[in-house]
């Protein structure tokens, strides 16, 4: 995540340009724009060095060697965030911790979900295949965990046996309404579609679902995956697969059919009224 001496220098007030000391920016992207203005440079020249998605700087994760995690950071509803859909499974699999679908059941992943990962060969971090399945599972799981007040670090996302099946048992016991794991993940899916619909109202489209340009141009300079870089063509295929699996348009907009299937007819009507999607009979 950079060089410590640089961090030490810029973290001190006297290490910042005068304009930033007087008006501290909100986040790395705005800081870059402020620096560009102070230095009299084009904004895009400085912004290039900010590793962000949707203006939110990436968490401490390298994406160029992990295709699924790259997709997760790109489509995350609040930007480059590891707590929206971070596909840890491909990294755990690459370490040899899980070799068959049944192994994932031990850490709370429903067998049907795990089998789909193997059918699509989704667990190879260097391959773009099947990444939508990993990301969507995590996004729906995370949204459900948030709704239940459950810490995500205690779930199957982090190799602990607290997955949607366990969540369903707790929710059934607490509410008296019968839940299974599919219903729990559907609740997460409903939440994620509402988030996306809100973003659509404010202009979020496909072009906002890409990670930082640097990651497509500059290969990893060192480490076990030295030389790897994201492919724009592969990323586009992953994005197409993700939108299709979500039931969204190629621009990343929730469709009338998908929203109504999730009992979100009022959301569909709002987007149609705004001219963002077409109403269907």
Range of the domain at 113: 51-273
Q: Does residue 139 sit in helix, strand or coil? A: helix
Residue 228 lies in a domain: yes
Of 91, 72, 90, 68, the C-alpha closest to 80 is: 72
Residue 63's alpha-carbon distances to 45, 51, 70, 75, in angstroms, are 22, 10, 5, 13
* pLDDT value, residue 31: 84
- CA–CA distance, 28 with 81 (Å, rounded to integer): 14
In a domain, 69, yes or no: yes
Distance CA 200, CA 277 (A): 10
Range of weakest confidence among 93-97, 211-215, 216-220: 93-97
Strand, coil or helix: what is 52?
Answer: strand
Q: What is the pLDDT of residue 146?
A: 94
Whole-number pLDDT of residue 11: 52
The backbone torsions φ and ψ at residue 170, rounded to the nearest 5 degrees and listed phi first, read: -65, -40
Q: Give pLDDT, residue 42.
A: 87
Segment among 84-88, 143-147, 252-256 with least mean pLDDT: 84-88
Q: Does 2 fall in a domain?
A: no
What does the pLDDT read at residue 47? 85
- Measured between alpha carbons, how far is 122 from 124 in angstroms, rounded to an integer? 6
pLDDT in tens, 75-90: 999 888 888 889 999 9
User: Is 281 within the bounds of a domain?
Assistant: no
Q: Taking the model in full, what pTM does it have? A: 0.89
> What pLDDT shows up at residue 52?
87
Q: Are 84 and 152 a contacting pair, CB within 8 Å? A: no
Say if 36 falls within a structural domain.
Answer: no
- Number of domains comprising the chain: 1
CATH code assigned at 115: 1.10.599.10
Q: Is the distance from CB of 231 to CB of 243 less than 8 angstroms? A: no
Instruction: Output the pLDDT for position 4.
Output: 52
pLDDT of residue 12: 55
pLDDT, the chain, mean: 89
Residue 14 confidence (pLDDT) above 80: no
Q: Are the CB atoms for 165 and 185 separated by under 8 Å?
A: no
Task: Give the pLDDT confidence of 170-181 residue by residue, as tens digits.
Answer: 999 999 999 999
The pair of structure tokens assigned to 97 is 């911790």
Give the mean pLDDT of 147-151.
94
pLDDT at position 1 is 44
Q: What is the pLDDT of residue 9?
A: 52
Over pLDDT 70: what percentage of the chain?
91
Please check whether residue 187 lies inside any domain of the structure. Answer: yes
Is residue 23 domain-resident? Answer: no
Pick from 95, 107, 97, 102: nearest CA to 117: 102
Q: 179-192, pLDDT tens digit by residue? A: 999 999 999 999 99
Length of the chain: 281
Q: CB atoms < 10 A from the CB of 7, how many?
A: 12
- Is the per-residue pLDDT at 281 higher than 90? no
Among the ranges given (13-17, 46-50, 73-77, 225-229), the one the predictor scored with the smallest mean pLDDT: 13-17
Determine the average pLDDT of the residues in 24-46: 82
Please spell the DSSP secondary structure of 108-138, one letter per residue. T--HHHHHHHHHTTTT-TT--TTHHHHHHHH
130 lies in some domain: yes
Collapsing DSSP to helix, strand or coil, 53 comes out as strand
Asked whether the predicted pLDDT for residue 22 surpasses 60, the reply is no
DSSP 64-100: TT-HHHHHHHHH-TTSS-TTT---HHHHHHHTTS--S
> What is the Cα–Cα distance from 81 to 69, expressed in whole angstroms?
10
């Amino acid at each position: 995540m950079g060089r410590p001496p640089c961090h030490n220098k810029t973290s001190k007030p006297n290490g910042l340009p005068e304009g930033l000391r007087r008006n501290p920016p909100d986040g790395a992207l705005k800081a870059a724009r402020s620096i560009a203005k102070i230095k009299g440079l084009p904004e895009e020249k400085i912004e290039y060095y900010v590793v962000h998605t949707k203006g939110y700087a990436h968490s401490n994760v390298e994406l160029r060697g992990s295709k699924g995690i790259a997709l997760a950071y790109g489509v995350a509803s609040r930007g480059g965030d590891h707590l929206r859909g971070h596909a840890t499974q491909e990294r755990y699999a690459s370490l040899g911790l899980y070799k068959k679908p049944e192994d994932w059941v031990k850490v709370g992943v429903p067998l049907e979900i795990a089998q789909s990962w193997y059918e699509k060969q989704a667990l190879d971090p260097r391959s773009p295949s099947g990444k939508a399945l990993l990301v969507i599972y995590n996004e729906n799981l995370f949204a459900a965990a948030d709704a239940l007040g459950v810490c995500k670090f205690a779930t199957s996302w982090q190799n602990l046996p607290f997955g949607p099946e366990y969540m369903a048992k707790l929710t059934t016991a607490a509410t008296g309404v019968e839940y299974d794991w599919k219903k729990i993940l559907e609740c997460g899916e409903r939440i994620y579609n509402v988030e996306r619909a809100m973003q659509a109202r404010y202009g979020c489209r496909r072009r906002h679902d890409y990670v930082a340009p640097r990651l497509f141009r500059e290969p990893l300079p060192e480490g076990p995956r030295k030389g790897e870089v994201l492919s724009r063509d592969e990323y586009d295929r992953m994005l197409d697969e993700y939108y299709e699996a979500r039931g969204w348009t190629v621009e990343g907009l929730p469709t009338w059919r998908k929203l109504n299937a999730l009992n979100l007819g009022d959301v569909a009507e709002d987007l149609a009224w705004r001219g963002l999607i077409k109403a269907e009979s």
